[in-house]
Amino acid sequence: MSPATLPAPVSGDEQTPGCAVVWSPQLADYDFGPYHPMSPVRLTLTHELACEAGLLQRPGVQIIDAPVASRDQLATVHTDAYLDAVARASEPLDLAAHDELISFGIGGDDVPAFRGMHTASARLVGGSIAAVDAIRSGRVHRAVHVAGGMHHARPGRASGFCIYNDAAVAIRHALAAGEERVLYIDVDVHHGDGVEMALWDEPRAITLSLHETGEVLFPGTGFIQDSGGTAAQGSAINVPLPPRTGPDGWLRAVEATVPALARAIRPTLLVTQHGADTHRMDPLADFTVTLEAQRAAMEILRDVADEVCDGRWLALGGGGYAVIDVVPRSWAQLIAVATGDPIPGDDALPDAYVAAESRARLEHGIPDEPGGRCWGDRVPLAQRRPWSEGMDPEDPLDRAIQAARRAAFPEWGLDPFLD
C-alpha cells in the first residue's frame, strides 16, 4: 500500500511542513468541577505556555477552531441511546434521571454530569475532525489537538473521564473521506481501550497501545492476545508493560515495537495519543517516565510519520493529572516538536507563563514547585542499547516487550527475533 501523495502545504517555508494547532477557549468547558482530577487548567496553561514560548507564531503554524461535532458524526462510533443519555445529562437532572444514567457510565466521581456536557464533549470531537480535514486538504502535514485523546469512551458508555471518543470518530471520518489505512499509536499510561473497541472489526484502522499492564491498572484491558476482530486480525496491537517502568525502559519499548510495525503497516495517516500520565509525578499511575523521555517519544513518532506516511500526523492529548506541574510542559513540548524544533529541557520557562502558573496554583490550592521552572526534569536520558543487540531474559521489561513482539510481529510479516 503506497502512502497518499499530497500537495505541498500552502503556508510555511519548504523546510517546515505546515502544522495546524486546534484551539478555542471553549475547549475548557469540558469541566467536571473543582475537585475532579482532570481540570481544564491543564489545557489553558498549555495554551498559555505555547503562546509565551512563541510556538504558535512559528512559520507554517495555523490555528484552527474546534467546531461542535454533529450527531451524525458522533453516531459513526456512539449508539443513539448513548447520545440521548449524554444530551439528558447536559441539563438539570432529577434523582431518577441520575439513576438511569449510571447504566451509561454517567454519574458518580468518574464522569459526573454537568450542564452543557454534550456540547463541550462534541467540541473536543469536532477539533479532531477539523484537524483531519486540515491534513487531508493538504494545507498542513501535521496537526496537534491537545484537548483530544479521550480514548476510554466506549460506543455506549462513558469511562475514564471520557464522554465521546474523538480519536475513534476522527479515524472513522478519515477512512470515510478516503484514507487507505490509519495507524493509531497510544502512549498514555492507560490502555486505549475505547479506540480499540470502536475499531475492533475495522481492518483499515490499526491500534497500537503501549501502557501499564491491565493486571494492575485501569481499565484492566490491553493484553497481548487482544489482536482484533475476526475480520481484522492483527489490527489491535498491545504492549503491556510492568509497573514502575522508567524513562529508558519505556523508550526501549517504543523503539522495539513502533518503527518496525509502522514500516510494515504503511499507514497513509498516523494518529497518536500523548497522555502525559506516564510521568513519575502523575497521581493516577505507576510509571516513572520523565519529560525528557516524553519529548523523545514525540520525536520518534514524528520521525515515523515522516518516514512512512509523508509526514501526515495528527497528535492528540489524553490523560495527565499533574495538571500544573507536568501536563502544560509536556503538551507545549508536543506542539514544539510538531511545529519545528523541540525546546531544550534546561531552557527556563517564560516569565509571563510562570506568573500565570503561580496564579493557577493559588486558585487550585496547589503548592509552588520551584524545581519545575524549566522545560524538562533535568534527568538526562541514558544511552539505550538497541533492541537489535538482543534482549535480556532476566529483565521483566524485556520479557514483556518480546512477548508483545511475538504476538504482533508475525501478523505483519515481521520476525519477532530479528526485525
DSSP code for 281: T
Q: In the block, which residue shows the cell 467546531?
A: 67
DSSP code for 65: -
Say whether 406 sits in a helix, a strand or coil: helix
Q: In the block, which residue shows the cell 496547589?
A: 366
| Residues forming the active site | 152
CA distance 6 to 189: 33
CA distance 164 to 147: 12
Helix 41-52 vs helix 327-339: angle between axes, to the nearest 10 degrees? 50
- Length of the chain equals 419
Strand ranges across the sheet with 205-212: 61-64, 19-22, 142-145, 313-316, 269-273, 182-186, 205-212, 236-241
DSSP sequence for 237-271? EEEEE-TT--HHHHHHHHHHHHHHHHHHH--SEEE
In this structure, are residues 34 and 157 in contact, taking their beta carbons and an 8 Å threshold?
no
Element (H, E) at 296: helix 291-308
Dihedral angle sign, alpha carbons of residues 88, 93, 98, 100:
negative
- CA-closest candidate to residue 227, choices 208, 242, 211: 208
- CA-closest candidate to residue 66, choices 132, 165, 18, 163: 132
- CA angle (23 as vertex; 194, 345 as ends), nearest 5: 85
Residues 6+ apart with CB under 8 A from 370: none
